[in-house]
């Protein structure tokens, strides 16, 4: 092993049973994993409606504007993700590949954060594109979200 640490993404999720806002909990859970994702980050909360904030690079360590944006993420359930690119593209697509990823199909809507690589990506892409059409990203996360939505549709 040489050079810099090589981590591969970080995920955090939380739910407040008393209905309080979870954004600060997600923030601190993700700050503790900031070293695991140097390329992009994202926070998603829900109070029945998804609220998403993503960015490029490391999670900002404070800052008035960033804190104000996090306070807009009301909801008692949420997930966070920091991304260290291991597949997909690096460059202009970093902002598009930032997670959590929101997807919907036929009235079902999901949000997902994923860390991994799909071994059957090529085969899965073909079957997913036959059903859903062209994918909007090269991310394995979108493939996984489509497969989950297909499962929701099929019950």
Asked if residue 44 lies in contact with residue 80, where contact means CB atoms within 8 angstroms, the answer is: yes
CA distance 84 to 35: 9
Hey, how many other C-beta atoms are within 10 angstroms of the C-beta on 132?
Answer: 18
Say what the pTM is. 0.85
User: Does 79 map to a domain?
Assistant: yes
- Which of 153, 137, 151 is CA-nearest to residue 100? 137
Asked whether residue 68 is domain-assigned, the answer is: yes
In a domain, 4, yes or no: no
Distance from C-alpha of 1 to C-alpha of 62, rounded to nearest angstrom: 32
Residue 74 and residue 47 in contact, taking contact as beta carbons nearer than 8 Å: yes
**Is 40 part of a structural domain of the chain?**
yes
Using the structure block, give the residue that is written with the tokens 């926070």.
43
Q: Does residue 5 belong to any structural domain of this protein?
A: no
> Is residue 150 in a domain?
yes
Is 3 inside any structural domain? no
Whether residue 90 contacts residue 39, with contact meaning beta carbons closer than 8 Å, is answered with yes
Print the domain residue range for 122.
10-154
Q: For the chain, what is the domain count?
A: 1
Q: Which of 1, 9, 61, 75 is catalytic?
A: 9
pLDDT tens, position by position, for the chain (155 residues)?
455 556 678 999 999 999 999 999 999 999 999 988 888 999 999 999 999 999 988 998 777 888 888 889 999 999 999 988 766 555 556 777 789 999 999 999 999 999 888 899 999 999 999 999 998 888 889 999 999 999 998 87
Give the domain CATH number at 92: 3.60.20.10
Active-site residue, 25 included: no
């Amino acid at each position: 092993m040489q050079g810099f640490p090589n981590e591969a993404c970080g995920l955090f999720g939380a739910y407040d049973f008393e209905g309080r806002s979870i954004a600060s909990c997600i923030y601190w859970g993700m700050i503790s994993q900031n070293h695991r994702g140097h390329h992009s980050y994202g926070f998603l909360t829900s109070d029945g409606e998804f609220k998403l904030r993503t960015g490029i690079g490391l999670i900002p360590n404070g800052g008035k504007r960033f804190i104000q944006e996090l306070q807009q993420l009301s909801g008692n359930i949420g997930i966070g993700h920091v991304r260290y690119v291991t597949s997909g593209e690096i460059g202009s697509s970093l902002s598009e590949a930032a997670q959590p990823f929101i997807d919907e199909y036929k009235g079902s809507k999901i949000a997902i954060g994923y860390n991994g690589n799909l071994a059957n990506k090529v085969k899965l892409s073909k079957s997913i594109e036959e059903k859903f059409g062209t994918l909007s990203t090269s991310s394995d996360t979108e493939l996984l979200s489509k497969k989950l939505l297909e499962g929701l549709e099929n019950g």
